[in-house]
Amino acid sequence: MNPVDKIVALALKEDACLEDVTSKAVLPPHLLAEARITARQRLILSGSFAAARVFGMIDPAVSVEFNVKDGAEANDGEVIAALSGPAVSILAGERVALNFLQQLCGVATLTRRFCEAIKGTSARIVDTRKTVPGMRLLQKQAVVHGGGANHRMSLADGVLIKDNHIALAGSIATAVLSAKRRAHHLLRVEVEVEDLDGVREALDAGADAILLDNMPLEMLAAAVKLIDGRATVEASGGITLENVLDVARAGVHLISIGRLTHSAPACDISMDFVA
């Protein structure tokens, strides 16, 4: 079973989709119907594959055709997908499919807003590991659909030394030097710092990338100047649509934003049957 099917299977089990007592009690089992999934706001589509798999795993007799591709914009009132097949099967998957679409379109749409806000700069918007448990793969795909890029998918993907690592290791230098000695040669070492002294210590220790955490804009700009191209520069913490352009203009390479996945507003999407 592929990773998306595993996620969908858990969602179907959670909602007991094969035991929809309401639809089975109200409707004849062989009633055929057509339905439309409609955007009720302007949005960036994401999650079409997961939504289609919801119905495919419930009943292969349900046909699902998306009119909008992931990563494309849909307007308020636009039909993004058409469905046909047994009515009870469509109803069984309605809520789960909409849950996927509403959440993932929300991530993609918010990501697109941040990407548009820094258009014209060289910075990139990236996500974090602050994802809904079990939904990381789909949420990170949604970030890409919105125009952003992915940070680490998991703890296995790269060395990122954070404040708790530093506290336990004793210092930034000790943590960085230890990581560069123990990690295999294909792994870059990034370290999180909170002030200019931390930047200097990270540079002296040979960090490949430096994460500037929750720095005021003036300090952020000074840190970029101090680093002067000797390491990849990432900014994180307190990033909003109102200040992201200023952060990008400070000269950072990456801007990581947790709210892309942990706080993106769900999009308004509905499903209605065609009379």
Report whether pLDDT(275) > 80: no
Residue 3 has what pLDDT?
A: 94
CATH architecture of the domain 115-262 equals Alpha-Beta Barrel (3.20)
Q: Given a cut of 90, is residue 265 above it in pLDDT?
A: yes
- State yes or no: is 192 an active-site residue: yes
Once rounded to an integer, what is the mean pLDDT over residues 98-124? Answer: 98
DSSP for 55-72 reads HHHH-TT-EEEESS-TTS
**Alpha-helix residue ranges (DSSP H) falling in the chain:** 3-14, 21-26, 48-58, 87-117, 136-145, 163-169, 172-182, 196-205, 217-227, 244-249, 259-262
Please pick, among 162, 204, 225, 228, the residue that the annotation labels catalytic. 162
Query: Is 213 designated active site?
Result: yes
Residue spans per domain, the chain: 3-107+265-273, 115-262
Q: Looking at the domain covering 3-107+265-273, what would its CATH class be?
A: alpha beta
Phi, psi angle pair for 34, to nearest 5°: -120, 145
Q: What is the pLDDT of residues 12-48, one digit of tens each?
A: 999 998 899 999 999 998 999 999 999 999 999 999 9
Considering 130, 180, 249, 259, which one is annotated as catalytic?
130
Query: Considering the chain, what percentage of its residues have pLDDT values greater than 90?
Result: 96
pLDDT classification of 65: cutoffs 50, 70, 90: very high
The answer to whether residue 40 is catalytic is no
Q: Is 5 a catalytic residue?
A: no
* Whether residue 42 lies in the annotated active site: no
Q: Which residue has the tokens 């009870």?
A: 88
The predicted pLDDT at position 123 comes to 98
Q: Is the pLDDT of residue 79 over 90?
A: yes
- 39 forms beta bridges with 269
Residue of 127, 192, 208, 234 marked catalytic? 192
Judged against a pLDDT cut of 80, whether residue 108 lies above it is answered with yes
The per-residue pLDDT for 186 is 85
Q: pLDDT of 156-198, one tens digit each?
A: 999 999 999 999 999 999 999 999 999 888 899 999 999 999 9
Q: What is the mean pLDDT of the chain?
A: 96
| Predicted local distance difference test score (pLDDT) of residue 185 | 86
